[in-house]
C-alpha cells in the first residue's frame, strides 16, 4: 500500500436518489481514500443534491438483505472524516434550503468547485 | 495465558491489550515486538471482509495512525495502530485471503508486527484483562452492538 498521506481527492457526485445504484460507490471510494489518510471531500451537485435532503437517504436501500441504507453510508462517510459539500445553486434547483439539509453538510457557492478542483491532487467524477 | 470471555457472542482474550474505541488489539511478543490486529467485535461489524491492505515493511507509524485499510461490501476503514513503531512484518496471508481476519481475528488474521518506539508508555494506556472485558461490555451495551456472528472455521 503506497503512502498517500497528505494528498487531496475531490469526489464529485452528480447522481441522486432516482438512480440508487449510483449513490453508494462514490461514498465508498471517499471512505477508502480517507482510510488511506487522503484528505477527501465529496461535492454534491446536480441530482446528487437531492440525497442530502432530510428524510430521503434512508429510503434508498440497495441490499434488501441488510439494514444498510444511503443514510447509513452518508453517516459512515462523515464519521470517516470525509467532508461533504453541496452546491448552493443546485439546492435552489431542488427547492431546498439549508434547513432541509441533513446535518454535517456545508453549503458552498457553485464556483467554489473551481478552487476545490484546482487545489486537489485528483478529482473523481460520478 | 489467554482467558476467553464472551460478550454477546464477541470474544475477548484477556491476555491481549486493547484500544477499545479503535477496535484493535496488541500482543507484546517475547522478542519485544508487537503484533497488531482487529478485534472480534471489529470483524463482526465489518462483515465479510473482501480486501485488506497493510502498510509496507519499513513504514514508521505513530500511535493512532492507520497500519491497514480493510474493506467489506458495506464498510471500508482504517485499522489504527495502538502503539508507535516501525513495521517489521506484514501478514502476507491477509492479502491473499482477507476473510482470514473474520475466521481468526486474534491468531492467523494478525495484520502487522511493529518494532515499538514507546512501548511502556503506550501499552500502559491500553486495557487488558478484566478492565478490557468491562470496557468492551460497556461499549457493546452502550452502542447496542449486534451479537457477533462467526464464520465457519472461526477460531479465537
Nearest CA in chain B to A66: B74
- Residue B115: inside a domain, yes or no? yes
**What's the number of domains chain A is made of?**
1
Looking at the domain assignment, is residue B135 inside a domain?
Answer: no
Instruction: Write the CATH number for A27.
Output: 3.40.1260.10
Residue B57 sits in a domain whose CATH number is 2.40.50.100
Q: Is residue B108 part of a domain?
A: yes
- Say if B31 falls within a structural domain: yes
Q: Select the residue of A28, A36, A76 nearest B69 (Cβ to Cβ).
A: A36
pLDDT score of A1 more than 60: no
Pairing relationship of beta strands A122-125 and A8-13 according to DSSP bridges = parallel
Local confidence band at B1 (pLDDT 50, 70, 90 cut-offs) = low
Q: Return the residue of B nearest to A65 by Cα.
A: B74
Confidence band, pLDDT 50/70/90 cuts, at residue A66: confident
Domain that holds residue B31: 21-119
Residue of A nearest to B64 (CA): A37
For cell 478542483, what's the residue? Answer: A117
Is A37 within 8 Å of B76 when comparing Cβ atoms? no
Contacts of B74 in chain A (CB under 8 A): 63, 66, 68
> Please, is B22 exposed, middle or buried when counting C-beta atoms within 10 Å of its C-beta (0-12, 13-18, 19+)?
middle
Our CA dihedral for A27, B91, B107, B116, rounded to 10 degrees, sits at: -100
Query: What pLDDT was estimated at residue B41?
Result: 96
ipTM of the complex: 0.80
Q: What is the pLDDT of residues A4-42, one digit of tens each?
A: 888 999 999 999 999 999 999 999 999 999 999 999 999
Residue B126 inside a domain? The answer is no
Q: What domain count does chain B have?
A: 1
Question: Could you give the CA distance from residue A27 to residue B114 in angstroms, rounded to a whole number?
Answer: 32
Mean pLDDT of A59-69: 85
| Closest chain B residue to A29, measured at CA | B76
- Which among A12, A39, A44, A29 has a CA at the least distance from the CA of A121? A39
Is residue A60 in a domain? Answer: no
B134 domain residue, yes or no: no
If you average pLDDT over every residue of chain B, what do you get? 95
Task: Note whether residue A78 is domain-resident.
Answer: yes
Find chain B residues with C-beta within 8 A of A66's C-beta.
Answer: 74
CA distances from A76 to B5, B36, B99 (A): 29, 24, 22
In a domain, A87, yes or no: yes
Q: Is A31 on the interface with B (CB under 8 A)?
A: yes
Interface touch B74/A66, C-beta < 8 Å? yes
Whether B59 and A3 lie within 8 Å, measured CB to CB: yes
The mean pLDDT of B120-149, rounded to a whole number, is: 95
* Candidates B56, B59, B66; nearest CB to A35: B66
Mean pLDDT value of segment B51-75: 94
Contact criterion met (CB < 8 Å) for B53 and A37 = no
Indicate whether A61 belongs to any domain. no
Amino acid at each position: 500500500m503506497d503512502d498517500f498521506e497528505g494528498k487531496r481527492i475531490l469526489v464529485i457526485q452528480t447522481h441522486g436518489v432516482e438512480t440508487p445504484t449510483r449513490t453508494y460507490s462514490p461514498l465508498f471510494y471517499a471512505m477508502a481514500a480517507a482510510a488511506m489518510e487522503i484528505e477527501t471531500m465529496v461535492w454534491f451537485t446536480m441530482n446528487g443534491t437531492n440525497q442530502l435532503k432530510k428524510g430521503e437517504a434512508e429510503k434508498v436501500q440497495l441490499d434488501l438483505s441488510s439494514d444498510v441504507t444511503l443514510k447509513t453510508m452518508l453517516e459512515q462517510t462523515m464519521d470517516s472524516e470525509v467532508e461533504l459539500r453541496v452546491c448552493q445553486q443546485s439546492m435552489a434547483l431542488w427547492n431546498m434550503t439549508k434547513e432541509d439539509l441533513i446535518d454535517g453538510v456545508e453549503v458552498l457557492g457553485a464556483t467554489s468547485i473551481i478552487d476545490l478542483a484546482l487545489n486537489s491532487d485528483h478529482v473523481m467524477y460520478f | 495465558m489467554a482467558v476467553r470471555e464472551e460478550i454477546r457472542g464477541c470474544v475477548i482474550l484477556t491476555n491481549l491489550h486493547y484500544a477499545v474505541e479503535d477496535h484493535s488489539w496488541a500482543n507484546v511478543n517475547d522478542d519485544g515486538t508487537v503484533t497488531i490486529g482487529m478485534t472480534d467485535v471489529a470483524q463482526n461489524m465489518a462483515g465479510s471482509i473482501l480486501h485488506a491492505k497493510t502498510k509496507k515493511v519499513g513504514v514508521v507509524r505513530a500511535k493512532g495512525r492507520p497500519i491497514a485499510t480493510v474493506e467489506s461490501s458495506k464498510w471500508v476503514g482504517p485499522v489504527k495502530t495502538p502503539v508507535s513503531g516501525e513495521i517489521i512484518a506484514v501478514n502476507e496471508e491477509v492479502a491473499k485471503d482477507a476473510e482470514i481476519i473474520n475466521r481468526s481475528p486474534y491468531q492467523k488474521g494478525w495484520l502487522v508486527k511493529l518494532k515499538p518506539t514507546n512501548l511502556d508508555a503506550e501499552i500502559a494506556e491500553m486495557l487488558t484483562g478484566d478492565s478490557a472485558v468491562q470496557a468492551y461490555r460497556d461499549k457493546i451495551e452502550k452502542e447496542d452492538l449486534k451479537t457477533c456472528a462467526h464464520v465457519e472455521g472461526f477460531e479465537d
